[in-house]
A and B are shown apart, each in its own frame.
Chain A
C-alpha cells in the first residue's frame, strides 16, 4: 500500500458525460501527478500540482481539467467523454515539486460506452 488513495476504483459512463476522479496523496506529500494509461500502453503524463498550484502540464486535453485543494487532495475532471478516453487513470504523489520519488495510487478504471 503506497498511501495514495483514489476513488472510485471503477467508473462506467456514456459518451458525452462528465466525471470526476479523486486522489488523496500520501501524508506529507505536496505534489500530485495525474497519468493516463490506455490498454497495453505506457503512462502518459497529464498534469502536476504542487501545494495547490499547477506546476507542469503534459498531454492533457482541453476537455480535461484538474485542481488541488487546500487539504492537498486533487480532482481530475473529464468532460464530453469519448470512447477513446477509456483508460486507467493514475494519481501519484511526492514530497517535493520535482526531483523526487513518485508513489502511485491504485488507479481509477474508466470505461466510456
Chain B
C-alpha cells in the first residue's frame, strides 16, 4: 500500500527566510502525481503545487518549489521569502488513482 510520511509535525521560520518541508512516500508504481496542499487557519484546503512523476524538472509556483527525488521517493517543499500568510498546516499527497495524504506539518512564520 502506498504511504506518505511527513516527519516534521511542526516547524517555524522567520519572516523573509526560507524553509523546507519534508515528505517521503512509498510506492512500487512508476506513474503518479505528488501534491502539496496548504490548510490555513480558515481550514480551506488549497493546492500549492503539483509534480507529475514522469517529469524530471522540479515544479515551481512563485515562492514555492519542490525537490523531487524519484529514486529516493522524496518530495520536499521549499518556501522562499516566507510571509506571515504562509502560516498553515501543509499536507503532502500522493495520487496513483488513489489519493493518500501525509499527517501534515504545521508551519508557523514568525514576524
The answer to whether B102 touches A42, judged by C-beta atoms less than 8 angstroms apart, is: yes
Please judge, given known A-B contacts A42-B103, A42-B104, whether A98 and B44 are in contact too, CB under 8 Å.
no
The answer to whether B98 touches A56, judged by C-beta atoms less than 8 angstroms apart, is: yes
B97 within 8 A of partner (CB): yes
Residue interface mask B83-111, A partner, CB < 8 A = 1:
00000000100011111011110000000
The answer to whether A45 touches B45, judged by C-beta atoms less than 8 angstroms apart, is: no
Tell me which of B33, B37, B43, B104 contacts A99 (CB under 8 A): B33
Q: In the docked arrangement, what's the CA distance between A62 and B99, Å?
A: 22
The answer to whether B47 touches A101, judged by C-beta atoms less than 8 angstroms apart, is: yes
The answer to whether A88 touches B97, judged by C-beta atoms less than 8 angstroms apart, is: no
Q: In the docked arrangement, what's the CA distance between A107 and B46, Å?
A: 12
User: Chain A contacts of B75 at CB under 8 A?
Assistant: none
Cβ distance A72 to chain B, nearest Cβ, rounded Å: 19
User: Chain A contacts of B37 at CB under 8 A?
Assistant: 104
How many A-B residue contacts, CB cutoff 8 Å?
48
Cβ distance A18 to chain B, nearest Cβ, rounded Å: 24
B25 within 8 A of partner (CB): no
The answer to whether A104 touches B45, judged by C-beta atoms less than 8 angstroms apart, is: yes
Count of residues in B whose CB is under 8 Å from the partner chain: 21
Tell me which of A56, A88, A97, A103 contacts B47 (CB under 8 A): A103
Q: In the docked arrangement, what's the CA distance between A107 and B99, Å?
A: 18
Q: Which residues of B contact A (CB under 8 A)?
A: 31-33, 35, 37, 43-47, 50, 91, 95-99, 101-104
Further 16 A-B residue pairs, CB within 8 A, beyond A43-B45, A98-B97, A99-B97? A2-B46, A37-B43, A45-B99, A56-B98, A88-B43, A99-B31, A100-B33, A101-B35, A101-B50, A102-B95, A104-B37, A104-B45, A104-B47, A106-B44, A107-B43, A107-B44
